[in-house]
Structure 1
Amino acid sequence: MTETAAERLELKPIDADTVEKLAESIAEYDAIRDAVRPLVDKGLHAVYWVGAGGSLICSYPAHYLLTQHGRVPSFQVQSDELNCSQPALMDDHALVVLASYTGKTKETVAAAATAAKTGATVIAAAKADSPLAANAHQSFVGKSDMFELLVAYAVLEASGVELDWDAVKVGLEALPGAVVNAVEQADEELASIAEDFANDDFTYVLGSGPSYAWAYGMAMCFLQEMQWKQAAGFNSGEFFQGAFEMVDEKSAVIVWHGEDPSRPMGERVIAFLKTYAPRHRVVDVAKLELPGIPAEVRGQFSPIVVAALANRLAQRYEYLRQHSLDNRHYMFKVEY
C-alpha cells in the first residue's frame, strides 16, 4: 500500500487505555459473581462461550481455565453455529456468555436471542445500548477477554473449586499495569518480528493451550483481515499433523509461548523449528516481567498478556507496511 507523505501512518503508541480497559473489567467482578452464583446454586450444568471472530477468540482462555479446573462442562460455539443448531444442554440450567466489540455483530446478536429462547441465562460484554446488550439478560462493558476470564473465575468460585484465591485477587489488582509493562518489554522484539516477516508471502502462527487463541487470531484477524497477508494459525500440537510438512528454512513462523500447563507443547514445536525452520520467532511470556503477579497465577493470566502482545505486533505491522488496520475489502462494506 503506497501512502503520500501527508497520509503516512504514524506508529501508534502502546495502547494508553489498556490499563483503564482492564481495570474497568476487573471492577465488574463483584457484579459478575452476583450474576453467576444463583445459577450455580440452582444446578448450573453447562457454560457456553459464544462469539464470532475476535470475540470467540477472546473466550478461549476462559474456556481453557474452566475446562482445566471446573466442575461444570464448558463449550465454545461460533455464533451462527448456535443459530443453526442449539445444543441439547442449553436450557434453563445453562449459562451463555457472549461478546461483541461493536455490540452489533448480527450473528452474535441473533445468537443471544436464540440462546434466550432455550431458557438459558444470557450475559454479554457489549457496549451499552447496543443490540447485543438489549438481547442479553445482563450486559457488562468490560474488555471481552478479561470479562470472560472473570466469568470463568466466578463459576469456579461459586462452585467451591479450590484455587489460590488470595493469589488470584492480588494478581487481578496488578494485572493492568503488568500487561502494559510486558508489552513495553517486548516491543523491540515485536518490531523485529514485523521487520523480518513483513514481506513474506505466508506466515504461520503457533500456540498451545490458551495461547492457541491468538495463534488463530493473529493469523485470521490481524494478518488476513487487517493486513491482507496470507497466514494460518495452528495449535502447536496440531502443527505436527500436517502443516509442519510445509515449512523449511525460508518459512516465517511465529510462536506464542505461554506459561500454562501446555508449555511442553510449545517446547516441542520450538525444538523442531530450531532444526527445520530457523527463521521462526518465539514470544515467550515467561521471559517477561509481570510486576505484582504472583507466580502461582502467571499461567492463568498469560493469555491476557499474549492478547496484548498480538495487538502490539499488529500495530508494528501496520506502521512498517503502511497498511492501516482499519482497511477492509468487504467487512462492513458489502452485504454478507
Structure 2
Amino acid sequence: MTVSTLPLKPIDADLSQKLQDTIDQRAAIVEVVAELAERGLKNVYFVGAGGSIICSYPAHYVLQARSSVPAFQVQSDELNCQVPRLMGEGSLVVLASYTGKTKETVQAAKTAKSTGATVIAVAKEGSPLAEAVDVAFKGKSDLFELLVAYAVLEASGELTDAAGLDAAVAALPKALYSAVEQSEQRLADIAEAYKDAPFTYVLGSGPSYNWAYGFAMCFLQEMQWKQAAGFNSGEFFQGAFELVDQDSAVLLWLGEDASRPMGERARSFLETYAPKHQVVDVKTLDLPGVPESLRPDISPLVIDALANRLSQHYESVRGHDLETRRYMFKVEY
C-alpha cells in the first residue's frame, strides 16, 4: 500500500520573532496590571476556548502557586452562560484567540466588561476580540498570559526573582528555538511510530496537562482526524490505564515543575506495561540562557513549541494537511 506523505515544513523561522514581539510588550502589560492594582486588584480570570484556554495553564499555575490574588480559568461559553459571582470591578479578565474571531470568546469579552471588570486580550489587530476589550496586545498567547501572571506578582510585591525572570525572558526566543532543533529527530521518531496507531493517549501534569489535552484534541483529533484522548498523569490512574496494553500508543509530556513526580509515576508504569510508550522530557534539553530557577515556569512553553513541531511531523508522515477541516469554519455550529 502506498502511503501518502507531505514535505516536512521547516522549523518555524518566525518562532523567535513571535516570542520577541510578545516580550516587547512586557512593559505595557506591567503598566496595565499596575494601574488596576492601584485601584484594587481582587482576582484574575483566564478565559478562552480550545487552544486559547489551553495556553493559559502556565500562567494560572504560577498564580495559584505564588500569588495571594485568586486566579481562575473559565471556558468562554461557560462565562457567557453563567457569570462568576466574584467577577466584577477589581477583576482582571485575560482572553486570547488566535483569529480574534472566535464568537464565544468575543462574546465573553463583552460579558466580562458588563460586570465592570478590566478586560485585556491577545488578539489580531482590528479583530472583533481586539475591538471588544479594554486593551489588546499581540503575540503568543501562552507567553503573553505568563507575562500577565508575572506582572500580577510584581504588582502585589510577590515577585521573588526579578533578575532571574529578566534573564529567562531575554533568553526565551533562542532557547525555545534551540529546544525544537535539539528535539527534531525525537519528534520525527514519535510521529513515525504513532502515525498509524488506532488510538493515542497523551499524558501531562501540572501546567503541562494543557498539551496532553491540547495535543490530543487540537492536533490529533481536529488537525489529523485521529482517535486520541488527553489525561492528567494522575487521573490516568483513575481508569484510563486499565485500557493500556503491550500495543498501546502513549505519549507522556514530562515537565520540570512541581508536578514532575506525577509524570515520573506515569513513566514508571508505562515502562512496565506499555513498551511502545514515548516520553518527551524537557529536563533533557539545554534551554541556553534560562536560569535553573525559572526552568519550571518555562517548561510548559517548551512543550507548546515541541507539540506544534510534532504536529508538523505527523502532517508530513501521514500526508494529512493540518489545515484540513470537515466542519470547523465550514458549517454553522
TM-score scaled by structure 1? 0.97
The residue aligned with 1:114 is 111
Deviations 1:214-242 (A, max 9, x none): 00000000000000000000010110111
Distance 1:3 1:12 in 2: 18
Q: How many residues align?
A: 333
SS, match of residue 42 in structure 1: helix
Distance 1:107 1:216 in 2: 20
Question: Post-superposition shift, 1:41?
Answer: 2.1
Matches within 5 A, 1:272-311: 272-311=269-308
The residue aligned with 1:150 is 147
Distance 1:164 1:238 in 2: 32
Matching residue's letter, 2:275: P
Contact map agreement 2:213 2:229 (CA 8 A) in 1: yes
Deviations 1:45-75 (A, max 9, x none): 1100000000000011110111111111111
SS, match of residue 15 in structure 1: coil
SS, match of residue 134 in structure 1: helix
Question: Post-superposition shift, 1:9?
Answer: 2.5
Distance 2:242 2:26 in 1: 45
Distance 2:225 2:67 in 1: 39
Distance 1:208 1:163 in 2: 24
Question: Post-superposition shift, 1:92?
Answer: 0.6
Distance 1:68 1:51 in 2: 21
TM-score scaled by structure 2? 0.98
SS, match of residue 158 in structure 2: coil
The residue aligned with 1:131 is 128
Distance 2:236 2:192 in 1: 24
The residue aligned with 1:185 is 182
Given candidates 320, 325, 332, the residue that maps to 1:328 is 325
The residue aligned with 1:28 is 25
SS, match of residue 95 in structure 2: strand
Given candidates 41, 58, 62, the residue that maps to 2:38 is 41
RMSD over equivalenced CA pairs, Å: 1.2
Matches within 5 A, 1:170-249: 170-249=167-246
Q: Which runs of 5+ in 1 are unaligned?
A: none
The residue aligned with 2:260 is 263
Distance 1:121 1:280 in 2: 45
Post-superposition, which runs of at least 4 consecutive aligned residues in structure 1 deviate over 4 A? none
Distance 2:258 2:160 in 1: 15
Matching residue's letter, 1:332: F
Distance 1:46 1:292 in 2: 32
Does the alignment pair 1:14 with 2:11? yes
Question: Post-superposition shift, 1:38?
Answer: 1.6
Q: Which runs of 5+ in 2 are unaligned?
A: none
SS, match of residue 36 in structure 1: helix
Distance 1:3 1:148 in 2: 40
Matching residue's letter, 2:62: L
Deviations 1:136-156 (A, max 9, x none): 000001111110000000001
Matching residue's letter, 2:271: K
Question: Post-superposition shift, 1:3?
Answer: 8.8
Matches within 5 A, 1:74-85: 74-85=71-82
Matching residue's letter, 2:79: L
Task: Calculate percent identity across the aligned residue pairs.
Answer: 64
Does the alignment pair 1:72 with 2:69? yes
Deviations 1:225-271 (A, max 9, x none): 00000000001011011111110111000000000011111110000
SS, match of residue 184 in structure 2: helix
Contact map agreement 2:3 2:318 (CA 8 A) in 1: no
Deviations 1:99-137 (A, max 9, x none): 000000000000000000000000000000000000000
Matching residue's letter, 1:140: F
The residue aligned with 2:49 is 52
Deviations 1:18-67 (A, max 9, x none): 00000000110000000001212222111000000000000111101111
Relative distance call for 1:154 and 1:162 in structure 2 (3 A) is: closer
